Amino acid sequence: MSRLPAVSVVRRVRGGWLPAARELQRWAGAALGARAAGREISVLLVGPAASRTLNARYRGRDRPTNVLSFPAPPRTAHSSGLLGDLVICPAVLRAEARAQHKSARAHWTHLVVHGVLHLTGYEHEREDQALRMERREIRVLRSLGVANPYHTVRPRPRRTA
């Protein structure tokens, strides 16, 4: 049995760089750690309109977002190994990466790890929850060679002569 979770990907978008399913699987596996074997995650890649609709419906926020996590019901997760679904909007993700001066790959890695942690029960509504989740994200991302996303270094302004 593989130590990585099974990841199925449905692409409803075209254009722009998208990571291979194998990369998504590796990132999800890193987030899950020892709990990865026998688990399954589905990933749906959507455009801004679909992301906005889902975000409004399920979170009450009428705007597109980078990643949404939909955990499987506990009974389903226990019997089938299905952790749940991630819905990722690559257009939002790319815009955020540019605005935050991060590589697209680093931001993809972070958001997949973040989404998978939500599938396992991590939350960030309260300060203590946010700190716990951020610490886990930072450790997982470090293991994948990605810098701490919560400690951003702003580029220095250019000097004009």
pLDDT at 147: 94
67 in helix, strand or coil?
strand
Angle at 106 between CA 77 and CA 8, to 5 degrees: 30
Location of structure tokens 């679909």:
50
* 81-90: b (≥16 Cβ within 10 Å) or e: ebbbbbbbbb
State the pLDDT at residue 2.
Answer: 65
Given a contact cutoff of 8 angstroms between Cβ atoms, the answer to whether 51 and 87 are in contact is yes
Tally of structural domains, the chain: 1
According to the model, what pLDDT value does residue 87 have? 98
Residue 45 is part of a domain; what is its CATH number?
3.40.390.30
Asked if the structure places residue 156 within a domain, the reply is no
Q: Is 35 among the domain residues?
A: yes
Q: Which domain holds residue 17?
A: 6-143
- Tell me if residue 82 falls in helix, strand or coil: strand
DSSP assignment letter at 35 = G
Yes or no: say if 84 and 70 are a contact pair by the CB < 8 Å rule.
Answer: yes
Over the chain (161 residues), the average pLDDT of each successive run of 10 is 86 91 97 93 97 98 98 83 96 96 96 97 92 96 95 53 48
Q: Is residue 160 in some structural domain?
A: no
pTM of the model: 0.90
Contacting residues for 55 by C-beta, under 8 A, at least 6 apart = 61, 62, 63, 64, 65, 68
Per-residue model confidence (pLDDT) at position 3:
86
Residue 101 forms part of a structural domain = yes
Residue 110, domain member (yes or no): yes
